[in-house]
Amino acid sequence: MKLQGTVTALVTPFKGQKLDEQRLAGLINEQISQGINGILLLGITGESCTLTPEEQGKVIRIGVEEVKGRVPLIVGTDSNCTRTAIEKTCKAKELGADAALVVTPYFNKPTQEGIFRHFESIVKAIDLPLVVYNHPGRAVVNIELPTMLRIIDLPNIVGIKDAAEHLSQAGDLFHALRKRNSDISIFSSDDASTYALMALGAKGVISVAANLIPSQITAMVNAMLKGNHHEALNIHYELLPFFKVAFIETNPIPIKTAMNLCGFSVGDFRLPLCEMQSDHLVSLKQVLHEMNLIYKAT
């Protein structure tokens, strides 16, 4: 499997505190109609940690039914328990997912060897393409370069979602992959970093902002893939204010709030996530108004 382009890390819509299955189906089709290159369900943006196993299964089934093979469907199967991550990845394959996104085990803070064995165990247990998600800010631990190079030598590792906190680490990874002639797909995890990471060699973004502005994100990413760096840079600067405000609070609070403000009804959050602080809400509305996404910042 070859992944590239814009993959939307889709929000999970709720009606009250129930999964809004009809709206989820609509969001998936709206995204595909706007030209995105993949859908990620049950990621951090999808509030996966607050969904029951039954709800997670429903989300995957709806995804498979609606995507219909038009774009790759990636499912987040994260857990800080390796056995549970294996079970969730097996279930994702059983239900028809094309690939799984697996984050570094969080909270229990494994060593580099423990991180490697986590991914090794999943690969040995299930034959499904995997995207490795390195997110030190969420997982507390970082996948160091020597460990990452061991992981990508495992079978079925097709991509890396990179949320490393320092661009220099990404540069070291790209340099190492270039020396190996590796064609593994690296994705930006942060919309604001997409241009810079693609300039280094990334193949696209797993995007939060694309929930609201998919066509603009795909235009920027496609321009970079075609080598039109000046065009992509112009789009980057046009969208940068939104990229910043989309992470003014914990994801997905700002993006779901923005979608609701702009008429894309996705409902509320599940605790421990809650509504935005009033001062941040003012900032978000102002940016949406300036970008003509909503016409009255009230």
Q: Give the pLDDT confidence of 158-217 residue by residue, as tens digits.
A: 999 988 767 788 888 888 888 888 889 999 999 999 999 999 999 999 999 999 999 999
At residue 165, the pLDDT reads 67
For the question of residue 133 being annotated catalytic, the response is yes
At residue 139, the pLDDT reads 81
At residue 254, the pLDDT reads 97
At residue 296, the pLDDT reads 41
How large is the average pLDDT for residues 265-271? 94
Q: Give the pLDDT confidence of 180-197 residue by residue, as tens digits.
A: 888 899 999 999 999 999
Q: Which of 88, 93, 133, 203 is catalytic?
A: 133
Q: How much is the pTM?
A: 0.94
32 by DSSP, 3-state: which? helix
Phi then psi dihedrals of residue 117, to 5 deg: -70, -30
How large is the average pLDDT for residues 108-126? 96
Mean pLDDT of the chain: 93
Residue 298: pLDDT above 70?
Answer: no
Tokens of 189: 């995890």
Q: Is the peptide bond before 136 cis (omega within 30 degrees of 0)?
A: no
Domains of the chain (ranges; CATH) run: 5-239 (3.20.20.70)
**Rounded distance, CA 155 to CA 85, Å?**
17
Question: Using an 8 Å Cβ cutoff, are 139 and 113 in contact?
Answer: no
Q: Tell me the pLDDT band of 1, cut-offs 50, 70 and 90.
A: confident
User: Which of the residue ranges 82-86, 177-181, 240-244, 273-277 would you say has the lowest mean pLDDT?
Assistant: 177-181
Q: Which of 161, 203, 256, 285 is catalytic?
A: 161
**Rounded distance, CA 97 to CA 89, Å?**
9
Question: Using an 8 Å Cβ cutoff, are 184 and 202 in contact?
Answer: no
DSSP string, 159-171: EEEE--S-HHHHH
